[in-house]
Chains A and B, each alone.
Chain A
Amino acid sequence: MNGIHDMGGMHGFGRVPQDPEATEPVFHEVWEGRVYAITRALGPWRKWNIDTGRYFIEMLPPAEYLRMSYYEKWFTRMVTLLIKTGTVTREEVESGRAAAGSERLTPALTPEMVPAVALNRNIPSSYEPGIVPKFRAGERVRALNIQPLGHTRLPRYARGKMGVIDRDHGVHNFPDTNADGRGPKRQHVYAVRFSARELWGPEASAHDFVYLDLWDDYLERA
């Protein structure tokens, strides 16, 4: 969707606000840490996937998206999806208490599991020889000029633009279908190199380039 979240190339947001690296806290408020942790602890229940999660932040009304802080968006997304998936009811959220007679579960994420989900040595495979890449490094491609109403990871600023395949990142889930229950539709993802002049016009530096990670279904031969 052509949402407010798709910010690349927008004007008007001013200077980048910088806090000193040495003193900026990881969580600026205690509740931010709890929102982060609850979101992570709900993950192993697999009630929704990462693409659905991103989609439900993008669907916030634009004015709300801009007003809310980062973890406020996370909180709102979490409550919305907990209700939508039937994990909790709206009445339970409003009362803060479980409905009488409702099921008591055993938490999916235990404290003992935390170190291994934060840091580990598990290399996930993106190698699936059965799924053939449509493009090879060095090929010229054009990003499709499409305006999907649902979730997409093809930013507006790259649509219709020509680039060159820099490298093949292997096979990954396709977010556009994975976000709304149509399935992972696994396919190759590539780093695609676009010149700043192609993206932004002749005023841009000839020495600047932007790389985007794009799926087979976003690209055509150019």
Chain B
Amino acid sequence: MSVTGAESASGGEAQQADHQHQTVPSDISLRVKSLESLLVEKGLVDPAALDALVDTYEHKVGPRNGARVVARAWTDAAYKARLLADASTAIAEFGFLGVQGEHMVALENTPKIQNVVVCTLCSCYPWPVLGLPPAWYKSNAYRSRAVIDPRGVLQEFGLELAADVEVRVWDSTAELRYLVIPERPAGTEDLDEAALAALVTRNSMIGVENLASPKQVAK
């Protein structure tokens, strides 16, 4: 089978020239299938392992993990202290470490401090606690603007901060991965840990939104 555009994937100096001839990759799906069958034939990858990986990140690893960590921090002061002092060890209590989440740091939002996480150089993201990143986090707009115009970006997410709130943008340039602990919303005193975890959104754990009181949401 001839794979149109496969020459664009060549290495070395030829790469730049080859790219000029690349057609619009409507056939990317075919090229991926072709590569997978080659790698399976050579014994480099097991298709069942690929299925398991896709299923894991579609259904088993995602922001519900991070939400459980946040809810525990809200309800257990000793846990929160451990999380802020050594996030990897505290998150390991849940078994939520793993690739792209080995070296964790937890950041606590307060009425006076808003932490926001970005990766300007690629799209580093804490996979074990938040899953794979959403498209907006990988967008050129977010990567370019979060560090120079954080308040403008937050406004687009519906978050208007008072001028005296300190904004801390964390650019994930190394292997540290950041989890924001959003403020616990008002009116949640009667909720248990599981009910609290259900309130925690992915975006609040990146720091681009704050959580509304469930009573406000009901209205």
Residue ranges of A at the interface with B (Cβ–Cβ < 8 Å) = 5-11, 13-19, 21, 24-31, 33-38, 40-43, 45, 50, 54, 57, 59-61, 64, 66, 70, 72, 75-76, 78-81, 83-84, 87-88, 90, 92-98, 102-111, 113-124, 126, 153-155, 157, 169-170, 172-173, 189, 191, 193, 196, 199-200, 205, 207-215
Chain A interface mostly: mixed
Contact A205 B95 (CB under 8 A): no
Contact A114 B56 (CB under 8 A): yes
Contact B10 A90 (CB under 8 A): yes
Contact of A31 among B33, B93, B156 (CB under 8 A): B33
Contact of B49 among A17, A57, A111, A200 (CB under 8 A): A111
Contact A31 B29 (CB under 8 A): yes
List the B side residues contacting A7 at CB < 8 Å: 120-121, 140, 143-144
Q: Which residue of A lies closest to B169 (CB)?
A: A210
Contact A19 B134 (CB under 8 A): yes
Contact A111 B46 (CB under 8 A): yes
Residue ranges of B at the interface with A (Cβ–Cβ < 8 Å) = 1-3, 6-12, 15-16, 19, 22, 25, 28-29, 31-39, 41-46, 48-54, 56-58, 60-62, 65, 88-89, 92-93, 95-99, 102-103, 105, 120-123, 127-128, 131-132, 134-136, 138-148, 150-151, 153, 156-157, 163-176, 201-203
Shortest Cβ gap from B137 to chain A (Å)? 9
- In the complex, what distance in Å separates the CA atom of A154 from the CA atom of B32? 33
List the B side residues contacting A27 at CB < 8 Å: 54, 57-58, 132
Q: Which residue of B lies closest to A33 (CB)?
A: B54
Given known contacts A8-B120, A16-B136, what 13 new A-B pairs fall within 8 Å (CB)? Answer: A7-B121, A9-B147, A27-B58, A31-B33, A70-B135, A75-B35, A88-B42, A94-B7, A121-B92, A155-B120, A189-B174, A208-B151, A213-B174
Contact B31 A75 (CB under 8 A): yes
Q: Which residue of A lies closest to B148 (CB)?
A: A9
Question: Which of A30, A93, A102, A104 is most buried by chain B, counting CB atoms within 10 A of its CB?
Answer: A93
- In the complex, what distance in Å separates the CA atom of A119 from the CA atom of B51? 16
Contact of A93 among B6, B48, B65, B141 (CB under 8 A): B6
Q: List 7 A-B contacts (CB under 8 A).
A: A70-B138, A88-B42, A96-B3, A97-B41, A105-B44, A208-B167, A212-B173
Contact B54 A36 (CB under 8 A): yes
Contact B147 A107 (CB under 8 A): no
Contact B150 A154 (CB under 8 A): no
Closest 7 CB pairs of A and B: A79-B9, A8-B120, A213-B174, A105-B43, A96-B34, A107-B46, A37-B53
Contact A88 B176 (CB under 8 A): no
List the B side residues contacting A28 at CB < 8 Å: 135
- In the complex, what distance in Å separates the CA atom of A90 from the CA atom of B180? 44
Given contacts A64-B19, A104-B43, A211-B168, contact A21 B203 (CB under 8 A): yes
List the A side residues contacting B127 at CB < 8 Å: 118
Shortest Cβ gap from B216 to chain A (Å)? 17
Given contacts A37-B50, A64-B19, A79-B9, contact A31 B38 (CB under 8 A): no
- In the complex, what distance in Å separates the CA atom of A189 from the CA atom of B173? 10
List the B side residues contacting A41 at CB < 8 Å: 44-46, 49-50, 53
